[in-house]
Amino acid sequence: MAKSVPPNGIDVKQSRKTLRVTFRIAEREIRLLSYERLDIICPPSIGEHPEAGKHGGFWMELRDSRDRVLFHRVLDNPLGDSVEVHSPDGKIERVFGAAKENVFDVLLPDDSRSTIIALIGESLEPVTERKEQPTAARELARFNIPEGIKGSATEIEGGSNDHI
C-alpha cells in the first residue's frame, strides 16, 4: 500500500497550474484518453485524505517517485451506473442500472514532483453485476504523468494503464 502524507498530501497548496486528464471507463477497464496542461488555479481537495483498505468510494491520487501521495481528488462514482431520483415529496433515492461507458475529466495540480496518477476505488464492475458487496477501496489502475502541453491516448507512451 502506498505511504500517505497526512492530512492532504505534501504541501501542494494552491497550484497555479492544472493538469486536466480525461478518462474512459468501459467493460471494466479504465483508459486515459487525453490530457491538457492549463494555466488556471487548480481547485483544492476538500476533506481528509481517504485511505485505501479503510474507506470506500472512488478517488484519484497524485504520487511522487517514492509512491507517496501528494494530492487526492474524490470522485463522484466514475462508473456512471447510478442516478439520484428526486420525487415531488422530497424523497431522494439512488437507482442503479447497467453502465455501458462513462467519460469524465479530473483536474489535478500540475506539480513537477508528481510521477503517477492512481485510481483508487471499490471496483470497476458495475453495482448491478457485482456478486459481492463492495469492500474497501484499493488501487484499480495507475498511469504515468504524461509529458507535453496536450495530447491524446495515441500520443501517450503506451496509451493505456497498468491494471492492478
Which residue has cell 503506451?
158
Which of the four pLDDT bands, split at 50, 70 and 90, describes residue 164? very low
Cell of 33: 484518453
Mean pLDDT is lowest, of 36-45, 71-80, 91-100, 152-161, for 152-161
What pLDDT sits at residue 54?
87
CATH number of the domain at 18-158, out of 2.60.40, 2.120.10, 3.30.70, 1.10.150? 2.60.40
Instruction: Please tell me the distance from the alpha carbon of residue 22 to that of residue 35, in angstroms, as a whole number.
Output: 6
pTM to 2 decimal places: 0.76
Mean pLDDT along residues 8-12: 48
Instruction: Please tell me the distance from the alpha carbon of residue 155 to that of residue 153, in angstroms, as a whole number.
Output: 5
Domain boundaries, the chain: 18-158
pLDDT at 71 exceeding the cut of 90: yes
Mean pLDDT along residues 58-87: 89
Strands 162-163 and 82-86: unpaired
pLDDT at 119 exceeding the cut of 80: yes
Q: 100 vs 48, which has greater pLDDT? A: 48
What would the pLDDT profile of 15-53 be if each residue is shown by its tens digit?
789 999 999 988 888 999 999 999 999 999 888 899 988
Compute the mean pLDDT over every residue in the chain, rounded to the nearest whole number: 82
Mean pLDDT along residues 126-145: 80
